Amino acid sequence: MKVLVTELMWDDGIEELKYNGYSVDYDMELGRKRSELLELVPAYDALIVRNETKVDAELLDAAKNTRVIGRLGVGLDNIDLEAAKARNMPVIPAVHANATSVAEYVMASMLDAYRPLAEADADVRKGNWDRKFFTGYELNGKTLGLVGMGEIAHRVAKRANAFGMDVIGYDPFVKPFDHILTETGVHPVGTLDELLTNSDFVSIHVPMTKATRHMINKDNFKYMKHHAYVINSARGGIIHEQDLVEAVQSGEIAGAYLDVLETEPVQKGSPLSKVESIQLSPHIAGLTDESQSRTAMLIAKEVMKVLEGGKSLCSVV
């Protein structure tokens, strides 16, 4: 059987497929070559993508022999799940495989906001020794607000607790008996505005949907503390970017850490790139060597399970 991989996949996952007798064609740029992908995909039993390949009805119609789609990550906004369901085609995300990496990214962002060591290093190398300017703040005793309380948020909360932070969360789908509340001690709040009002850091952990698009905007930036930061490692578009730029420039909030943008990569001349207090990274929160390996191996094994007649517990369709 043949597997087509259209985006970056760690070698151990590819080798796992080959070791088990699968033919693998791998082109990490193929997701951007739409016409070529449409021409090639009918010949494959499985399709493995990341977040750039647009898996819509047109592609699914072309994938006449494809029996399963593996997603190297957890976001599914690039895949038409209803179209896949209509074609009885399982979609398998890498459930929890990169959760630890994202959680550590959030912690790194908060530490960088309060103790900017790279800036201190650059200043010292210029011959300065400004200890007062680089006197920072402690995370201990500060409040972290989690927008969304899934597995990644749970792991963020555990790490924030270890730093002595108070953690609150907003998620209308979380029940009182869910583990993030019962085991991690996150305090749930009733509204997003209540969370924004009380947080020194706001970390976003929700999927991109019609309901979450631009859910953080000028109407609720006004509730945030002037020294607060917002961190988005989830999906671009959840924060209204122009509203964010204006909120930071006006001093309404202190800054932001954005790993994801509405349009990726960042556009030349983007207002986001002109504001020093908005830190940008290239969609890498979930990318560490360890998480890449876990993701590749999980998807390889789960895709093989489906192709061999079984069912994947990770399947969302």
The Cα 297–Cα 34 span in angstroms is: 26
What are the angstrom distances between the C-alpha of 263 and each of 12, 75, 174? Answer: 30, 15, 30
pLDDT at 309: 97
Integer Cα distance of 168 and 185 in angstroms: 9
Helices 99-114 and 289-307, interaxial angle, to 10°?
A: 160
Of 234, 232, 237, 243, which Cα lies nearest the Cα of 280? 232
235 noted as active-site residue: yes
Say how many C-beta atoms besides its own lie within 10 A of residue 251's C-beta.
10
What pLDDT does residue 317 have? 86
Rounded CA-CA distance 122/103 in Å is 27
Q: In the 3-class helix/strand/coil scheme, how is 189-209 assigned residue by residue?
A: CCCHHHHHHHCCEEEECCCCC
**Whether the Cβ atoms of residue 54 and residue 84 lie closer than 8 Å to each other:** no
The Cα 23–Cα 4 span in angstroms is 9
Q: d(Cα 230, Cα 145) in Å, to the nearest integer?
A: 9
Side-by-side strand order, sheet with 143-147: 187-188, 166-170, 143-147, 201-204, 229-232, 255-258, 278-280
Residue pLDDT, tens place only, 54-102: 999 999 999 999 999 999 999 899 999 999 999 999 999 999 999 999 9
CA angle 13, 18, 22 (to 5 degrees): 115
Rg (CA), the chain: 21
Catalytic position from the list 36, 39, 264, 290 = 264
154 in active site: no
pLDDT tens series, the chain, 317 aa: 999 999 999 999 999 999 999 999 999 999 999 999 999 999 999 999 999 999 999 999 999 999 999 999 998 999 999 999 999 999 999 999 999 999 999 999 999 999 999 999 999 999 999 999 999 999 999 999 999 999 999 999 999 999 999 999 999 999 999 999 999 999 999 999 999 999 999 999 999 999 999 999 999 999 999 999 999 999 999 999 999 999 999 999 999 999 999 999 999 999 999 999 999 999 999 999 999 999 999 999 999 999 999 999 999 98
Rounded-to-integer distance, Cα 30 and Cα 209, Å: 26
Q: How far apart are CA 270 and CA 240, in angstroms?
A: 13
Query: Can you tell me the distance from the alpha carbon of 186 to that of 188, in angstroms, rounded to the nearest whole number?
Result: 6
With the C-alpha atoms ordered 139, 140, 146, 151, is the resulting torsion angle positive or negative? positive
Told to judge if 252 belongs to the known catalytic residues of this protein, a careful annotator would answer no
How confident is the model at residue 24, as a pLDDT?
98
> Which member of 50, 154, 205, 283 is catalytic?
283
Contact 171, 211 (CB under 8 A): no
Active-site option among 235, 262, 294, 302: 235
pLDDT given for residue 145 in this prediction = 98
CA–CA dist 185, 172 (Å, integer): 17
Q: Cα(33)–Cα(31) distance, rounded to whole angstroms? A: 6
Contact 222, 251 (CB under 8 A): no
pTM (2 decimals)?
A: 0.93
CA triple 71-76-79, angle to 5 deg: 85
